[in-house]
Amino acid sequence: MSLILKGFLSFILLFLISDILVKYFSFGITPDAIYITLFGNEEEFIDPITKSYFLEFWHTEIFFIMMNLLTLSAIFIRLSNKSKIAMTNILMISAIISLISLPMSFFISSDFVYIYLLTFFIWHLSAIYMILYSFWKLNDKSI
């Protein structure tokens, strides 16, 4: 079972890294880039994202984040002894706030972009920590 879990954790780690890269090259991972993606830039003749494309993007984000975080949390909780409650809460709360702040920045105020970026990186870093810790625990001979 250890080999299967290591493979699965590798795929989640690959997803997280590629998610950051895809966002960097398409949606943006800086406040200015996200603002231009969401609202456009008249001076550079960049059109804003359409509502239908934004909602499709958000729907896909919800699905992929949910699937990855629930399975990662199940593995981490099984392998961790001390930090499982804190790390799982940090991961889940920051991911939910990230998902909520994105449509709030699109529909309510662009100031929510900063909250989105902060929580986006918090949940990514938390997930990477949980993956690396799980790898370490899977390689520990005392399990």
Interior/surface letters 114-129, b for 16+ CB within 10 angstroms, e for the rest: ebbbebbebbbebbee
82-111 pLDDT, tens digit per residue, is 888 999 999 999 999 999 999 999 999 999
pLDDT per position as a tens digit, 24-75: 999 999 999 999 999 988 888 889 899 999 999 999 999 999 999 999 999 9
| Tokens standing for residue 63 | 């699905």
Residue 34 lies in domain? 2-139
Domain count, the chain: 1
- Specify the residue for token string 């001979």: 141
What average pLDDT does this structure show over 4-9? 93
Q: In the predicted model, is pLDDT for residue 141 greater than 80?
A: no
Q: Which residue, 13, 18, 20, is CA-closest to 72?
A: 13
What is the DSSP track for 23-77? IIIII-SSHHHHHHHHH-BTTTTBPPPPHHHHHHHHHHHHHHHHHHHHHHHHHHH
pLDDT at 135: 93
Q: Identity (one letter) of the amino acid at 1?
A: M
